[in-house]
Structures are given as C-alpha cells and as structure tokens.
Amino acid sequence: MERGIATSTKPENSSAENTENTEPTDKTGQPPSHFVVWLWIQARRIVIFVIGSTVVLIGIAMIVLPGPAFIVIPLGLAILATEFLWAKKWLAYAQDHLKNLATQIAKTSTLSPQPPAAKQSRRGTAPGYPRRQPVEEADADWSRPLPGYAPPEFTSPKVFQNAGVWADPADITQVTRKLLTRTPSGDIPVSLDPHGFPLNPLGRTGLRGRGLLGKWGRNQAGDPLVTRFDPVTGRLQVLVIERSDSGRLALPGGMVDEGEAITTTVSRELAEETGAHIRFEETQILFAGVVDDPRNTDHAWMETTVLHQHLTADQSQALALQAGDDAKSVHWMEINPTNLAALYASHADFVRLAVRKLQGHPQLKQTIPELIGVKLVSSRTERD
C-alpha cells in the first residue's frame, strides 16, 4: 500500500514533462491538427453558403421566369440548412407554406372543377332527338363566327304539354331574365343571343330548342352520390340505378322543384329511385355546375349539384333498397375503370371526385389508377 502511495505522488516531475511535450501552436493558439480541422469547417461552410444561396436565387428568379420555383427554392434552403440554423427555420416555413398551398388547391379543385368537355352535348343522342349538325370542338365557342351554322330545332311534345307545370312557356319573351339566371345559390347571369335565347356555356351543340328539357337556359338538378366499402371484398362501391329512359347506369337524382332546397331535392330523389332514406343537410357540395349531358341543346342545358355521403358498414346494411320512379333497378356498383366508362353523362367524373375525397381513408386498399384509371395530380387529372 505504501508503494502505491509513493508511485502516485510524482506530480512535480510529471508537470514538467507535460510542459516539455506540449505541441507547438499556431497564431490561433491551437495545435496545427486542430487548425486544419477548423479551416476545413470554415471552407465547407463557405462552399455550402455559395451553392445554397445560388440555388435559392435561381428559384427566386423562376417566380417570374419559366421554371419550378416551388421546388428550387426549398432545395436551396435544404442545402443551406445543413450548416446554418436560420436556413433550417426558413426551410420549415417554406414546407408549411407549400403544404397549406397544396391543401387549398385540393379544396378548390374538388369544389370548383373545370367545366367538362362537351362530347355528349355535341355528339350524344337522347330519345326522340334528331341528328345534330356536326360541330368541331374548335368551332364550339360562341365568340367564334361559324358561317353556315343552322342546326335543326327540336323540343319534345311532352315539354309543350307541361308548360306552366314543370316546363317554361314556348315563347321566350314570356320568360323573364330572372328565370333565365336562376341557380340554387342565387342568380347568375347567362349570355343571350340577339333574339333573347340563352346560350349554352359549353358552346354550340348542333341543336336548337329545348329537347327534353323543360326550362330555357339552366335546368337545375340534384344528384346524391353514395359510397361504401363492400362488406365482403372491402372494395369501394357506389350506389347506382338503371335509368328507365335509356337503360344506362347512372347516379340517382332528379330536377329541383321551384323554391326547393338542394338537400331536400337530393334526399327526395334518392328515396324515390332507390328506397334509401339518407339526410344530406350536413354534407359538403362535391360538384356544382354545368353537366355534359346528351339532352343539352344550344338554348337549354343541365346543371347539377352533387352531394356525397360515404356510409359505414352498419349504415349501408340498414338500407332497404328498392327501385322506383325513373329507375328500373338499383344496386351497388364496384368502382373501377370499366364500370365508370358505362355511367351516364358526367357521372363518372363525379365518382372520381368522390374517390379523391376518400384518399387516405384507412379502408381504401386500392390505388387511384386501379379505382378510376387516372392519376389525380393537384387540380387536374392525368390518364394512364
């Protein structure tokens, strides 16, 4: 034990030895090896600052010049954030801003989609309709002169017979401007030709008159879109009917009665055509606007408001489905590209919007292309 104490009591000599073995220092007071590390760190920070700042400046320039500024600016900040705390804060701010922007785009595109291409309005046929005058898409716009445009005129006798009931008078001068501008959300003006006839906002259709539609101008409808997951397969389904007039599969729905709330219309039509009783008062609007419909003419067209309700397993099992009114049959249809192609008018587009709304649902096991045959990107759709 004494030997151990003697061994440990040698600090005086050890201090002198440490002084003799100390490494020479540079101007910074640090050993040369530490100075090299310090110099490397400073050089690295300078290089990162130059590269990151250059990328950010390029991104800022792309705000006014062609280029993906929303990608380049965060990229530059990400480079700077590897060394600078202030850049990390700016990067987090940019990421939050982009997320909020993406959310707003998604809401806008869902609630206010672009008008549909009018393929059925110009090429489609409805019961009793004459052959339309051919109209190329490039010539559809009313502002574009089209010499020789003299389409046939057709209004169903059924429409004339119900004037004053659910149809407007034949004489356009008896229809006030207020009636021509009616919508569930208020009065929205429509364009008129020199004779006072309303002009279809989708452009020329190759047919004058009202066809099977009762109202001059807008004919307002309401469509309930009801979805569920199949209790056996777990695949997404939509409730559809078989129309008695054309035999086509379609969403339930019908015309808005004078002064009727759209939620009342949707609930009433669903009950009349499918036997299902569902309330839509708390449901958000999925779509509201012009519909590409084969019944459309130059002076009468369909507009609709679509309300979407997704049911739980218990809610869907509680429905007592029974076809009625304008429906020959009613059933749940699996959502896939083949079935969507068979739907009436613009109904496939409405289902695609509902699928988009359900993205992220824990029970949604299928991919977007598998469900609807398109990839949804921000506010537009891209077909595979």
Average pLDDT over residues 358-363: 86
d(CA 217, CA 301): 6
- Whether the pLDDT of residue 309 is over 60: the answer is yes
Asked whether residue 7 is domain-assigned, the answer is no
Domain range spanning residue 97?
29-111
Task: Say if 319 falls within a structural domain.
Answer: yes
* DSSP 8-state symbol, 381: E
Q: Cβ distance 90 to 112 under 8 Å?
A: no
Q: Are residues 173 and 269 in the same domain?
A: yes
> Do residues 270 and 176 both lie within one domain?
yes
Mean pLDDT of 114-137: 80
376 in a structural domain = yes
Strand-pair partners of 381: 376
How far apart (Å, rounded) are the C-alpha atoms in residues 295 and 223?
Answer: 16
Cβ neighbour number for residue 376 with a 10 Å cutoff: 19
Distance CA 203, CA 219 (A): 16
Shared-domain flag, residues 95 and 157 = no
Instruction: Answer yes or no: is 270 within a domain.
Output: yes
The two three-digit tokens of residue 196, written as one number: 């006072």
User: Are 124 and 55 found together in one domain?
Assistant: no
pLDDT at 190 over 50: yes
CATH for 310: 3.90.79.10
The token duo for 77 is 């900040």
Residue 300's φ and ψ, nearest 5 degrees, are -150, 135
What integer pLDDT is reported at residue 136 of this predicted model? Answer: 92
Residue 219 lies in a domain: yes
Q: How many domains does the chain have?
A: 2
Tell which of 94, 111, 128 closes a domain: 111
Q: Are both 102 and 129 inside the same structural domain?
A: no
Q: Which one of 45-49, 76-80, 129-133 scores highest in mean pLDDT?
A: 129-133
Provide mean pLDDT across the span 142-166: 95
User: pLDDT per residue over 265-282, tens digit each?
Assistant: 999 999 999 999 999 988
> Residues 32-68: pLDDT tens digits?
567 777 888 888 889 888 998 898 888 777 665 555 6
Residues 103 and 132 in one domain: no
The Cα–Cα gap between 311 and 280 comes to 12
Model confidence over 96-125: pLDDT tens digits? 766 655 544 344 334 334 444 567 788 878
CA-CA-CA-CA torsion sign (151, 120, 140, 285): positive
Note whether 74 and 178 are same-domain residues.
no
Instruction: Identify the helix (H) or strand (E) that includes residue 44.
Output: helix 32-61
Residue 250 confidence (pLDDT): 94
For the chain, the straight-line distance linking the first and the last C-alpha, in angstroms and rounded, comes to 86
Q: What confidence category does residue 185 fall into, taking pLDDT thresholds of 50, 70 and 90?
A: low
Q: Is the pLDDT at 158 greater than 50, yes or no?
A: yes
The per-residue pLDDT of the chain, averaged, comes to 80
Looking at the predicted structure, is the pLDDT value of residue 22 above 70?
Answer: no
* Whether pLDDT at 371 is above 50: yes
**Band (19; pLDDT cuts 50, 70, 90):** very low
Distance CA 137, CA 144 (A): 11
In a domain, 18, yes or no: no
Residues 51 and 189 in one domain: no
Partners of 300 in the beta sheet?
217
Identify whether residues 50 and 129 lie together within a single domain.
Answer: no
Strand partners, 327: 243
> Does 52 lie in the same domain as 153?
no
Q: Is there a single domain that holds both residue 358 and residue 227?
A: yes
d(CA 354, CA 236): 11
105: in domain: yes
- Please report the beta strands in 201-245, taking only residues with DSSP state E, as ranges in sequence order: 208-211, 217-229, 236-243
Tell whether 4 is covered by a domain. no
**Residue 202 in tokens:** 């989708």
In the chain, the percentage of residues whose pLDDT exceeds 70 is: 77
* H or E element, residue 273: helix 262-274
Same domain membership, residue 172 and residue 50: no
DSSP class per residue in 147-190: TT----EEE-HHHHHTBTTTB--S-GGGS-HHHHT--TTS----
Residue 181 pLDDT level (bands cut at 50, 70, 90) = low
What mean pLDDT do residues 336-345 have? 91
- Please determine, for residue 11, whether its predicted confidence score (pLDDT) is greater than 50: no
